[in-house]
Amino acid sequence: MKVIHKINELKEIIKEQKGKSIGLVPTMGALHEGHGSLIKKSVEQNDFTIVSVFVNPVQFGINEDFDKYPRTLEKDAKLAEELGADVIFNPSVDEMYTDTQELTLVCPPYSAINKLCGKSRPGHFDGVATVVSKLFNITQCTRAYFGQKDAQQLFIIKKMVKDLNFNVEIVPCPIVREKDGLALSSRNTYLKDDARADALKLSKALNYAKELRKKGVNDKQMLCDSALKILEGTNVDYIEIVNPETFEDWQETDKRALMLIAAKIPPTDTRLIDNMEI
C-alpha cells in the first residue's frame, strides 16, 4: 500500500487503473473500526481502494478542535493496509487549497443545513461538500463510502451527488459501536475517566427512545423528554427526530423515525453525535 501526499502523483496512479472500479473512503484519520468497516466494504466491492486522510480546515469553525484533532498517520496506514486498501491519500492543507479564504465553495441548500449539526456548526457542511467534491474529482471514484454515524452528512452528500450529477455511487455503512453501545469516534480519544460513562448516555438515550416506541409511544415530545432525562450530566446541543428519507421534522404519521443527538461531554466539552432509527 502506498501513502501519497501529492494530487498529481495520485492522478498518475489512478490513470494506471483504467477500466477498474475505484472505491473512495473519505476520512479525517485517527482510524478506528468504524472507518475499518467502510474500508472493508470498499475492498470487497471495488478493484482499487483509496482511503483519504485529511483533516479539512474548511469544515471546522474558529472555536473548534482543528488544531488538536488527533493525527495518527502511521497507525492509520497500518490498519488500512491490513484491511486491503491500495492507497492512503494524505495531502497537506496547502496541497488541497491555495487559499481557503478565496475558495469556490459547494453550498448545500439552507433547508438541509438549518438544523442539527448544520445549525450548531455554521459553514460546516459547505466545508464537507467542498472537500468531498474535490476528492470525487481527484480520485474519479466509482463508489464512495460514508458512515450512517454522520447521518446529516450522508443525507447532504447523497443530495449533492444527485443535484450536481456526480458519477459516483454513495454506499451508506451502518454505525459501528463498542460492546456497550458507544459509537466509535476519533473524538472518543478525548474522553478521560468518568467522561466515558457520560458519553455512553447518548446510545442509552437512543435505545430507550427505541424501546418506548416499540411499546407504542408515538408522542415526539415524550420521546425526546425521556431521552433528555438519560442525557442529564451532559450538555445537550440538540435532540431531534426526523424522517430519515427527507430529513424533515418527524410527523407522527411518518412510519420511520430517526432520532439524532449531539452532546458535549464534560469536563473537556468533547462534542459527540449519535443517531438511531427508533
For ligand AMP, the binding residues (CB under 6 A) are 27-28, 34-35, 37-38, 146-147, 149-150, 173, 175-176, 183-186
Least distance CB 203 / ligand AMP (angstroms)? 11
Least distance CB 216 / ligand AMP (angstroms)? 30
Least distance CB 222 / ligand AMP (angstroms)? 28
Using the minimum distance from each CB to ligand AMP, give the nearer residue, 195 or 224: 195
Report the distance separating Cα 202 and Cα 126, nearest Å: 26
Residue 229: all three cell numbers together:
432525562
Using the minimum distance from each CB to ligand AMP, give the nearer residue, 128 or 209: 128
Residues paired with residue 235 on neighbouring β-strands, in sequence order: 264
CB-closest chain residue to ligand AMP = 147
Using the minimum distance from each CB to ligand AMP, give the nearer residue, 70 or 212: 70
Q: Which of 5, 32, 35, 124 is an active site residue?
A: 35
CA contacts within 13 A on the Cβ side of 258: 18
DSSP 159-181: HHHHHTT---EEEEEPPPB-TTS
The CA R_g of the chain, rounded to the nearest whole Å, is 19
Catalytic residue check, 124: no
Least distance CB 199 / ligand AMP (angstroms)? 13
Residues paired with residue 236 on neighbouring β-strands, in sequence order: 263
Using the minimum distance from each CB to ligand AMP, give the nearer residue, 175 or 200: 175
Using the minimum distance from each CB to ligand AMP, give the nearer residue, 88 or 175: 175
Ordered alpha helix ranges (H), the chain: 7-15, 33-45, 73-82, 93-96, 110-113, 116-120, 124-139, 151-163, 195-214, 220-230
Least distance CB 220 / ligand AMP (angstroms)? 26
Report the distance separating Cα 158 and Cα 161, nearest Å: 5
Report the distance separating Cα 224 and Cα 221, nearest Å: 5
Residues recognised as catalytic: 35
